[in-house]
Every structure is written in C-alpha cells, then in structure tokens.
Structure 1
Amino acid sequence: MIKLFLVEDEAVMREGIKRRIDWSAEGIEFAGDARDGELALPMILEKKPDIVITDIKMPFMDGLKLSEHIREALPDTKIIILSGYDDFSYAKEGIRLGVTEYLLKPITPAALLKSIHEVMEKIEQERKEKEERSLRSAEEYEKKEKEAVRLFSELAKQFLDRPGSGPESHDRDTSFVNMDISKAGEVSGKELESFLRTGTQDGARAMIDSVFDSIGDQNSRSLIFLNYLTMDLYFTMVRFLKEIGENVSEINSKCGDINDIIRDMTGTEDAKRYLSEYLSAVISARDNGSARKYGRILRDAAVYIDEHYADEDISLNTLAELANISPNHFSAIFSQEMGVTFIEYLINKRMDKAKELLMTTDMKSFEIAYAVGYKDPHYFSSTFKKTQGMTTKEFRARGREG
C-alpha cells in the first residue's frame, strides 16, 4: 500500500483533503498531516511516506524548502505541490527540486486523486524496474560465481592430473583431496548461511574454524582446495550482503580484495584469518543495518505490547500489520533483535503483571487471568506454573511470608 503524508497550513483545506477522500479504498495509507513544513519534516523522516502533498506557502518552512529537505533525505519520495500562485518562478524552482506534480489551487478531490494515481503509477513502475535490475544483477553475479567455480575445478583437475604432482615434488599428495571440491563448498556454504543470519561477531573465528575442522586436516593442506573453499565462502558472504542491502565494496576495501588474498595465500591460517575477518565485518554490517532499519519498529512493538498485553486478541499478526511488514518477517526480526520470540515476550509481560497483582491485591487467580489477557483461567494457571516453577497460590504465600 502506498503511504501518503499531507502538509497544508489552511485547516479547512487540510481537513477537506483528509476527510473527503476514502484513502484506503484508493489503496493509500494516510500516514499523517501537519500544518507547516517545520512540524512536518521530522514526521516525514520518521514515517518515510511514498508521496508528500504540500502547500507551497506556509509559515516557518515553506513547501519548496521542505521539498529540498525531503529530496536530500528520501530521494525516492514523490512530492506534489499545491499552490495558489500561478507564478512560473515557483514552478521552475519546483522542477529544479525534482517535484513530481505542481497543482494550482483551488483543486477538487477528483483532480487531486487523478494526480495522485498518476504518481502512484510512476512509483509502481520504478519499483518494477528496480526489481528487474536487482534480478539481472543477481543473475549476472550467479554466472560469475559459477564461472569462478568452474575455473577453480578445472585448475584443480589440471594440477592433480599432471605428472610430478606427488609429495616428492610439491609436498601436495593427490590423496589429500578426499572430498569432492564442489560438494565441500556446498556443505560449508549452508553452514555459513545459517550463521550469517543468527551468529555474532565474537563467534566468527569459531565458525570458520568449525568449517575447516569439518573438511579434515588432509584436505585443508591442499592449496587448490583452500583456494576454492575460500572463494566459495566469500561468495556466500557477498550474496548475503547484497540480500540485506549492504555495501560490498566497503567491506572489500577493509578486508582486502579476494583476488589478492587467493594469489598470496600460503596455507590454512591465511584462509582462516581472511574469512573470519570478513565474516566479522559482515555480521557487524548486518547488526548495524538491522538496528537502523528495525529499531523503531521493535521499540513501537514493545510499547504496544506493554500497553495491550491484556487484550485477549493481541497477536503477532496484529503487530506485523501495525509495522506494515509480513508476519513471518516481523517474527524473524523480533526474535533476532529481542532475543526471544514474540509469544515468549508477551507471556513474560503477562506473568510479570500477574505476579504484581498477586502481591499487591486480593484478586483471585481467575480474576488475574482475565486481567492479564487470558480467556481460560486453567491455561493461565498452567502457564504460570510452567514459567514460574510454582502455582499462583504458592507464589502469593511465599511472597507474603517474605
């Protein structure tokens, strides 16, 4: 759903636009409104609307100045300017700032909606083009990865098949490579993919050590094998960075170019050092990105739960809908960032309140059950005993004895 924000200093005009259009029926979420640019800007930066409709002449900060700030912070946001001034200089400045539509007042709801729908079509088209570019980029990257795998496999075959490749000449015996190279990369890659989503920076070196332990000492002594495995794990981390929208070049410049690493690699320790450093940098980027992206969502979710824990119908779907993301996605980021699942957080909140009521009131157990959001007092009692290690009666008695 497209998100829209309105900035208009004339109260009658502002309320008219808000009330006379059925936004949800038009596929639009009305994200909020403000009477001037100064009030609107922090709200817009927080809500990140797809479309901003703003008057041009307002106190404190006018529509053009507001548009300039929006363009700098939210370049994808489309701006529709409403103006009572048929002055080319205003329109010219609006064009310079990248304003999408410049409409003259007075304007009817139908005319405004027509312009909004035209802007919505532009947004959908841009999203489609962006998705297609991402898909093409992913496909091209996949081709490059497969080509790298093919070259490494071919190099390994040539090296191991040529005469004189025994231990007496190269200290590399073909019997060292006891595992299929591509299969080893696949197994290690899956293990790494799981760690990339849930692992910590402190665990990066242990993760890489675990990968090398799993391939065996003999295999890890083959330089060809090390080169391939390092490249394969590198590509796994790069794919993850692209998936979460982080900057690959920034981490490459910090940790070193993979081609230089492969060229200069002399043994297992070089591979481990590079991969653990790269993995630690990826986890750091993931955590920083998640904190930026999801911090507000999770803070709002925690506040909502704190205020609505007693609602019988509160659910993960409720929170996901409020955050405007899918339930599965919300569940994943909640668990990752909060350290517990949504249901565990809700139960803990309800149990804390139940314990407070047991100690400060004479309410019966079934009354407390209803007060903290349980329809079934028996289920409440069972949950309390399971989580607290004693019944409500025992908890109250023990508390009052103390």
Structure 2
Amino acid sequence: MKKVMLVDDEILIRETIRERVDWEGAGFHYCGDASDGELALPLIEQHMPDILITDIKMPFMDGLELCAVVRQRFPQIKVIILSGYDDFHYAQTALRLGAADYCLKPFSAADLLQLLHAVSERIDREESEKRQETYTAEKLFADLCGGLINTAAAIKVADQLKLQLMTSYYAVAILTLSSTDPAKPELDPVVCSEAGRWIDQQLREQLDYFMYKRSRTETVLIIKCTALEDDSASLQARVNELQLALHAQFNCELLLSSGHVQERLQGIHISYMEAEANNIERKMLQQNKQAFLQASADDSYENVVLDRNGLLDFLKLGSPKDAPDFVRSFTARLDGVNWDSLYAYYLMHDLTLEMITAAREHFQTSHRTEDVLSELQERIKLITSHDDCQHYIVALLHQLWEWRQASTDKYSDLIHAVKLYIRQHYKDDQLSLFDISRQIAVSSSHLSKIFSQETGQTMTDYLTLIRINKAKELLKLTRYKTFEIAFQVGYKDPHYFSNLFKKVTGLTPTEYRKHSSIDQEVPVSKGEGRL
C-alpha cells in the first residue's frame, strides 16, 4: 500500500481527511500529518511517504516552499497540492516546481481518493519503466519463468531488447550438468562454461529457444514451439544423444527436467514450475539412490530384490480392497530385514520416492514432493517390524489413491469434452490427436496420457470404435455400398476400412450385413452403450 501524509494548518481539515477516508480499504496507509511545512519535514524523513498532500497557504513554511524542498531532497515523493479557486495560480506554480497534481477545495473523500489512485498508478508506471530501462535479456527470461512480469511489460522489454519473443506456444526445460568423476564431484567452472557452449551449439540445430544461466551448472531454456505438441520426448532423445560426447570431452553428464507446452507468455511460468518440480524430484531420487547404494554396500545388511514395477503398476491400476493381499505378497522378501538398519530406512525411503514420483506423473497432482515426503520420512522412522512395513505401504497407497481420485474428478469434464468432440467429428477423415488437443486447449501428449489413464483406451481406439459402430448401424439400416459407408464414417480408403472392420468385428462388412441379425454391438468404453 502507498503511504500518504497530509500537511494543512487547519486542524478541522486534517481531522476530516484522516477520519472520513477509508484508507486501508482504498489501498493506502495514512502515516501522519502536520500543521505546516517546517513540522512536516522531520516526519517526512521518518516515514518516507509515497504521496504528500499539502495545502499551499500555511504559516512558517508554506506549500510551495515545502514542495521545492521535497522535490530537491526526496524526488521520489509525489506531491498533491490543496488549493482554493482564489489560489489557483499558486497551484500552477507548484506544478512547475514538480508537484504531481492539485485538488481544488472544497472536495469530497471520493474526489481525493480518485486523485490518489491516479497518482498511485503514475508511481507504479514510473517504477515499471525504470525497471524496464535496466532490463537485460537474462532478467526478462528469469522474470517470465518466475511469473514476475506481465504480458504487456514483457513484450515492451522484448521490443527494447530486439528479441523475437512472441510465438504460439512455449515450454520450459532445465538442463543440469553434473560430474561423472567420483574423485571430482564438483565441476570446474571452465569445464561448465565450455560444456554449456557446446550443448547450446548442438541443441540450436533443432530447437528455437531463449536461455539464461540459473547457476553455474544449471541452464533454463524457454523453448518456442509452433504447435501444442509436447517436445519433451524429442528433447530428451537429443540430450541422450549428447551424453557420450559430453562424457568423453568434458567428463560430465547432462540431466533434463521439463514442463508441458503452454499457450501464451504467462504459461511460461506454469511450464517452469512443472520443470522445477521434476528437477527437485530427480535430485531427491539421485541423493537417496546414492545413500541407498552406500547402505547396500555394507555386508552387514541383507539386500533384497523387490518387484518395483509391479508396485508402481498396482499404484496406477490397483484397488483398495486388493491392497492388503498385494502388499503382503510384495513385502514377503522383507521378512528377515533388520528394521533398525540404515539399509531398511533408505530402502523404504527409496520406494516412497518412486511411488510419489509415479503418482505425481500419472495422477497430475499439484502436491509438492518435498512437502509430502517430509511427513512420510517421520513415519518411515517409526517402522520397526515387517508388520509396520506392510501397514505403512498400504497407508501410502491409500494416500496416493486419493490423488488418483482427485485426478479422476478433475479430468471428468475434459474426458467428456474429448468424447463429445470425437462423436461430433468422427466423419472427418483428417481428424487427429492434434486437432482434438488444439480444440480442447491441452497439449497432445498430456491429453493422450490423461485419456488413456482415465478410460483405459487410447483416443485412436475410441475413435475407431465410434466409427465401426456407426458403420455397423449403416450396414444394418441402409443399402449403402461399403465404399460409401467407409466415406461416411471417416475413411477415404475402402480397403483399409474393410480390413479394420474385420479386425474389430471378426467379419467383413459384407459378412456383417448378412449376419446383422445376430450381431453384438462393440462397446465404446465401459459404461457406454449405443451412440
């Protein structure tokens, strides 16, 4: 809130303004008042108001003199002059001395607040312009990722810096260099610099992006995308291709954490937060893996092999009623573990991290890994027996399934919209995952994953069954030829349609027409009947 101070020799005016204006409600802080300019100066030095309201005619030091002193000593303070009609030429003089505005007496509280808001906006605008004057490209990119600059200001700064910032879609990735030499875990600054330049040269052959250094070993990329496609898979593949050369030339490796593709400049912040969450999870997993391996290397601990993939699959697809039996079977090999050992602690910690990471990825939860893990770490410390271990894993599964349920509820409208769009446009032979994702305004990879996760089938499968069921209806109720039906349900190639029809139903279209009286409808998905 902007701080406001009042200077007026009439006590009634001071009390009226002080008491009748809802300062806090209007977004201001009334920090004090004085009866003349001389008494006001020490208060101004003490409180440093953003806006000073002063009458012109006062004893000892009048408003004009005060305005001149404030202008010289505190140029950032905006001065509003109170003036009567007879003193208007004084107000004009004050404006020439640098006063921000004037207010003619008599005035209401609403009049004063309107003027204060106008001056407040001027302060904000000048501060914003001052920041823009000192902006560098790196600061712009960091502020976009941090959500600290609005769209209009970002575009203006980018124009000043002659940066081609605007595009249709954006994604953020965090690249981290780490040493592969156990004897030298810290990378040399020169190596970091040289490796960073080499990586930049390699990646720019395929990607269009801006970048800034977040630390000596971390670089943030703001990738300009031309479509609502998630390029993280291709970026990861390219990073993997560079690993051998990085290891050979610089004795280091490159780790990638990325966010989803987003629309609009403000989406950069969302993608950055996703990338940062993935980056934190990766670091935590890596740190725990190192501790786990150190504990495993001690011969006094009995190492066990667990079906981790089976546990993660059960997390994604299992049900609460089956949890006790599954966990009993999963933990059978842990029966002889010494639960007072470091190995036991890091084993449970490692399993917990893997489950949380998988849950965040598949259930699209907003829960922060470090926040959840801090509580679970305390619960892990209380595990002192095989039974405690089983109870802990069952409880953790239930906790993460709450995320799954919330995710299902969250995406029900999205799935409904996708299904409705497919049912309305199945005749379009050009209908694709990209078309649907663009219509729904969600990245195609994200939408594909959510649809498969929530329905148990791909969007391609769903579209195919919609088309085949409609074709069966036309075969039953009309005398259209096979190629005409193929065209009506979205297939240009009648041979492809016939082969696909037989693959789904076990019969050719002609055979199906002959046996239509005994045909069974192919279900589109669980809980859905005929269209």
TM bucket normalised to smaller = 0.5 to 0.7
How far the C-alpha of 1:147 sits from its partner, in A, is 5.5
1:6-27 CA distance string (max 9 Å, x none): xxxxxxxxxxxxxxxxxxxxxx
CA contact (8 A) 2:437 2:443 kept: yes
In the alignment, the residues of structure 2 paired with residue 133 and residue 379 of structure 1 have an alpha-carbon distance, to the nearest angstrom, of 44
Within the candidate set 452, 464, 472, 1:347 is matched to 464
Note if 1:377 corresponds to 2:497. no
Whichever residue aligns with residue 457 of structure 2, its letter is V
How far the C-alpha of 1:226 sits from its partner, in A, is 3.2
Whichever residue aligns with residue 374 of structure 1, its letter is Y
Change (3 A) 1:268 1:327: same
Within the candidate set 354, 357, 367, 1:247 is matched to 367
Change (3 A) 1:217 1:262: closer
1:270-322 CA distance string (max 9 Å, x none): 11211122122212213312431x32222111111111111111111111111
Superposed, 1:39-118 pairs within 5 Å as 89=114, 92=117, 117-118=152-153
CA contact (8 A) 2:451 2:458 kept: yes
CA contact (8 A) 1:196 1:283 kept: yes
Change (3 A) 1:124 1:332: closer
How far the C-alpha of 1:263 sits from its partner, in A, is 3.2
**Larger Rg belongs to:** 2
Note if 1:273 corresponds to 2:273. no
Change (3 A) 1:384 1:234: same
Count of equivalent residues: 274
Identify the structure with the greater helix proportion.
1
How far the C-alpha of 1:237 sits from its partner, in A, is 3.1
Whichever residue aligns with residue 445 of structure 2, its letter is N
Match of 1:11 in 2: none
Change (3 A) 1:333 1:198: farther
Note if 1:332 corresponds to 2:367. no
Aligned with 1:311: secondary structure? coil
Within the candidate set 326, 331, 340, 1:212 is matched to 331
In the alignment, the residues of structure 2 paired with residue 400 and residue 327 of structure 1 have an alpha-carbon distance, to the nearest angstrom, of 40
CA contact (8 A) 2:429 2:490 kept: yes
1:55-82 CA distance string (max 9 Å, x none): xxxxxxxxxxxxxxxxxxxxxxxxxxxx
How far the C-alpha of 1:326 sits from its partner, in A, is 2.4
In the alignment, the residues of structure 2 paired with residue 316 and residue 247 of structure 1 have an alpha-carbon distance, to the nearest angstrom, of 29
CA contact (8 A) 1:335 1:341 kept: yes
Identify the structure with the greater strand proportion.
2
Note if 1:300 corresponds to 2:420. no
Whichever residue aligns with residue 456 of structure 2, its letter is G
TM-score, normalising length from structure 1? 0.54
Change (3 A) 1:238 1:283: same
How far the C-alpha of 1:335 sits from its partner, in A, is 1.0
Change (3 A) 1:121 1:300: farther
TM-score, normalising length from structure 2? 0.43
Identical-pair percentage: 27
Match of 1:396 in 2: 513
Change (3 A) 1:275 1:370: same
CA contact (8 A) 2:426 2:467 kept: yes
Superposed, 1:120-269 pairs within 5 Å as 177-179=302-304, 192-193=311-312, 195-197=314-316, 199-201=318-320, 204-205=323-324, 208-209=327-328, 211-213=330-332, 216=333, 220=337, 223-224=340-341, 225-240=343-358, 244-247=364-367, 257-269=375-387
How far the C-alpha of 1:218 sits from its partner, in A, is 6.3
In the alignment, the residues of structure 2 paired with residue 335 and residue 194 of structure 1 have an alpha-carbon distance, to the nearest angstrom, of 14
Change (3 A) 1:295 1:268: same
Gap regions ≥5 residues in structure 1: 1-85, 101-114, 162-173
Note if 1:309 corresponds to 2:309. no
How far the C-alpha of 1:202 sits from its partner, in A, is 5.0
Aligned with 2:513: secondary structure? helix
Match of 1:365 in 2: 482
Give me the CA root mean square deviation.
Answer: 4.3
CA contact (8 A) 2:285 2:353 kept: yes
CA contact (8 A) 2:502 2:509 kept: yes
Whichever residue aligns with residue 393 of structure 2, its letter is L
CA contact (8 A) 1:241 1:248 kept: no
CA contact (8 A) 2:429 2:491 kept: yes
Change (3 A) 1:400 1:125: closer
In the alignment, the residues of structure 1 paired with residue 355 and residue 293 of structure 2 have an alpha-carbon distance, to the nearest angstrom, of 20
Match of 1:64 in 2: none
Note if 1:282 corresponds to 2:400. yes
How far the C-alpha of 1:354 sits from its partner, in A, is 1.0
In the alignment, the residues of structure 2 paired with residue 289 and residue 401 of structure 1 have an alpha-carbon distance, to the nearest angstrom, of 40
Whichever residue aligns with residue 347 of structure 2, its letter is L
How far the C-alpha of 1:358 sits from its partner, in A, is 1.3
CA contact (8 A) 2:151 2:265 kept: no
How far the C-alpha of 1:210 sits from its partner, in A, is 5.3
